[in-house]
Amino acid sequence: MKLESHAPTGDIEKRWDQHRFDMKLVNPANKRKFNVIVVGTGLAGASAAATLAELGYNVKAYCYQDSPRRAHSIAAQGGINAAKNYQNDGDSVYRLFYDTVKGGDFRSRESNVYRLAQVSVNIIDQAVAQGVPFAREYGGLLDNRSFGGAQVSRTFYARGQTGQQLLLGAYSALSKMIATGSVKMYSRHEMLDVIVEDNRARGIVVRNLDNGKIEAHTADAVCLCTGGYGNVFYLSTNAKGCNVTAGWRAHKKGALFANPCFTQIHPTCIPPSGDYQSKLTLMSESLRNDGRVWVPKDPANAEKKPSSIPESERDYYLERIYPSFGNLVPRDIASRAAKKMCDEGKGVGPYVGDQRRGVYLDFADAIKRDGEARIMEKYGNLFEMYERITGDDPRETPMRIYPATHYTMGGVWVDYNLQSTIEGLFVLGEANFSDHGANRLGASALMQGLADGYFVIPYTMGNYLARAGNNDKKEDSTVAKSTVKDVESRVQSLIDKGAKGTHTPDHYHRRLGHIMYDKCGMSRNEAGLKEGLEEVRSLREEFDANVKVLGSGAELNTMLEKAGRVSDFLELAELMHVDALDRDESCGAHFREEHVREDGEAKRDDEDYAYVAAWEHTGVGKAPKLHKEELDFEYVKLTQRSYK
């Protein structure tokens, strides 16, 4: 299999414009002849479904939630980046492009990143037109601020709930098209397989989560907008239901899975509080604009009230190590630094396992400088949320934060047109292997989801449909029936084995999370990865033999849903270890302890590893096949990152 990115050449500023011009168009009168399936209704899914329907295509949209309104994009709180240069502080499309490539530690396609930066300005206009209530300054103009990994103010926000507000904008556009009949919405439906014939996506197989009915839905093209796979770690900032099934099923049908080991750790989460916690609470990274991060210099002071620890005994370690960026270093750097402090015994808060997992985020200086009213105007809802969860008022007691699994830069490999290695199967947003590279700057996830849905897929989808024509396969075709039968067999097998099982899916998911955190987490090494790989394989075998699934498939069965998702996570976890072992370097969120610079930062190997690792599925338990997409850098000089 030869990888072809279809990334355009020429002047980078003109590539997307020229590429759009070179694409084939679909006559407006002919668009109504085409049917498109969109799986997932977060930012990428809702924006794609709404936009494609507005263009005239017939769209069927699917989500496992009870309403598309409940899609998980709402968890993103901090903001969305755009190169508007409102504050005349030196921002530009090119600088956003450069910052994103650098933030991703030079493991991304230049063409994709520049396009992302280029359309970012349109996203803000689109959202404002939809009524998204971005924060505004006293003059009525949009307000923005800086975020980790940048020294300019390009992050637009909505009172700490930017993801929710942007989702409401996309959801309103989707709802309008549902009302017109252009979008047919299937909530409480989970995709369990993709229908493929002659390497062309013909549709999907879904399970009605309320009654268990399994059925095929066909279309001329399929868009997967199903988010990331951070819940492979069990404890993450993702909603409990977030899973990898759609992308993984596509992978097992021939779509390559790229860079699976690139998993981002978010530095400003509320620390875990016990062994049976199921989700970690994400606090907006925007807090780092004003809060100062510190730990006691002396581990013996960890149990003292922070107010009783004098300035001379505090280590503002991010400001000390990175004087230029300070608390605004990128997420991977801030997260590793926090872990290092805790590993050295300087962590604060209660013990979780064998160490205190927390550092202070202190707003005392900000309140003294700007006044409590101004700080509450910016972060009041976040302060309130933190107080409700922990019982501490951040105005009086510093927040305790700790890194947690958040975003995944790996995912289904796609070309410049967002098409996977299966023709007609497009993958948008976090579900694809990401424009960001080995790490993601804060406030860029919403940017990619909306860019893909609003401003990329309408063009690339039209180009595909104009060339491919209509799908002649219907729901009762041989390939559709065969795929339904495969899904029914897989579901029934889980039920049959599960009737004799001894442990719940959550039991195995929790154990998998421990393996992933310890062996394939914020830092990895060869010995640990090899151990983790064997442990995952052993756990998968145990799961297959002993997982407990009560009830039947012909009804609402949340245990069955979880079992299917955990099964996919176990297979994915194996690939993540293989990928992390193969990439014998440190870059971004992939930190191999064997490859560290003298100053403690990640040491890349550009000569041997400046490529996208795209893996081909060869069978469960069999070694996957590696395909490399070499990365060329014409505009950004490959240098070791420095945020000091």
**Whole-angstrom Cα distance, residue 13 to residue 94?**
9
CA distance 182 to 57: 7
Confidence at 75, pLDDT banded by 50, 70, 90: confident
Closest of 226, 232, 249 to residue 63, by C-alpha:
226
Dist CA 320 CA 294 (whole Å) = 10
For residue 84, pLDDT beyond 80: yes
Q: Give 198-232 pLDDT, tens digit per residue.
A: 999 999 999 999 999 999 999 999 999 999 999 99
How high is the pLDDT of residue 1? 79
Residue 413 pLDDT grade (very low, low, confident, very high; cuts 50, 70, 90) = very high
DSSP 358-423: -EEEE-HHHHHHH-HHHHHHHHHHHHHHHHHHHS--TTTS-EEEEEEEEEES-EE---TTSB-SSB
Active site residue 70: no
Tokens of 48: 């794609």
Q: What percent of the chain has pLDDT over 90?
A: 90
Q: Which residues of 582-618 are buried (b: 16+ CB within 10 A; e: fewer)?
A: ebebbbbbbbbeebeeeeebbbbebeebbbbbbbbbe
Chain segment 264-322, per-residue pLDDT in tens: 999 999 998 877 788 899 888 889 989 999 999 999 999 999 999 999 999 999 999 99
| pLDDT for 353 beyond 90 | no
What's residue 160's pLDDT?
62
Q: Which residues of 279-296 are buried (b: 16+ CB within 10 A; e: fewer)?
A: bbbbbbbbbbbbbbbbbb
CA terminus-to-terminus distance, the chain:
42
Q: Which helix (H) or strand (E) holds 58?
A: strand 58-62
pLDDT in tens, 421-432: 999 999 999 999
The yes-or-no verdict on residue 621 having pLDDT over 70 is yes
3-state class of 12 per DSSP? helix
pLDDT value of position 52: 98
Closest C-alpha among 424, 275, 630, 381 to residue 638: 630
The predicted structure's pLDDT at residue 459: 98
What is the side-by-side strand order in the sheet with 411-412?
Answer: 411-412, 257-258, 611-616, 625-630
What whole-number distance in Å separates Cα of residue 97 and Cα of residue 118?
A: 8
- Mean of pLDDT values over 400-415: 96
- Rounded Cα gap, residues 58 and 642, in angstroms: 48
Q: What is the largest CA-CA distance in the chain?
A: 74
Contact between residue 47 and residue 183 where contact means Cβ atoms under 8 Å apart:
no
Q: Which residue has the tokens 């393996």?
A: 515
Highest mean pLDDT among 276-280, 377-381, 561-565: 561-565
Would you place residue 2 in the very low, low, confident or very high pLDDT band (cuts 50, 70, 90)? confident
Average pLDDT of the chain?
95
* 496-530 residue pLDDT tens: 999 999 999 999 999 999 999 999 999 999 999 99
HSE-up of residue 344 (Cα within 13 Å, Cβ side) = 15
Reading phi first (left if > 0) and then psi (alpha if -120 to 50, else beta), residue 217 is in beta
pLDDT for 74 equals 67
Any idea what DSSP says for residue 67? S
Q: What pLDDT is recorded for position 279?
A: 86
In the predicted model, is pLDDT for residue 352 greater than 90? no
User: Token pair 């979008």 is at which residue?
Assistant: 183
Alpha-carbon gap, residue 371 to 387, rounded angstroms: 19
**Cβ-Cβ contacts under 8 Å for 322 (sequence gap 6 or more):** 329, 333, 643, 644
- pLDDT surpassing 70 at residue 44: yes
pLDDT at 122: 98
| 107, 109, 249, 331: the active-site residue | 331
Count other C-beta atoms under 10 Å from residue 462's C-beta. 20
CA distance 636 to 12: 11
pLDDT-wise least confident of 188-192, 438-442, 531-535, 624-628: 438-442
C-alpha 572, offset from chain centre: 15
pLDDT in tens, 578-618: 999 999 999 999 999 999 999 889 999 999 999 999 999 99
SS3 category, 611: strand
Band of residue 157 on the pLDDT scale cut at 50, 70, 90 = very high
Phi and psi, residue 607, nearest 5°: -65, -35
Q: What is the pLDDT of residue 72?
A: 84
Q: What is the mean pLDDT of residues 464-472?
A: 94
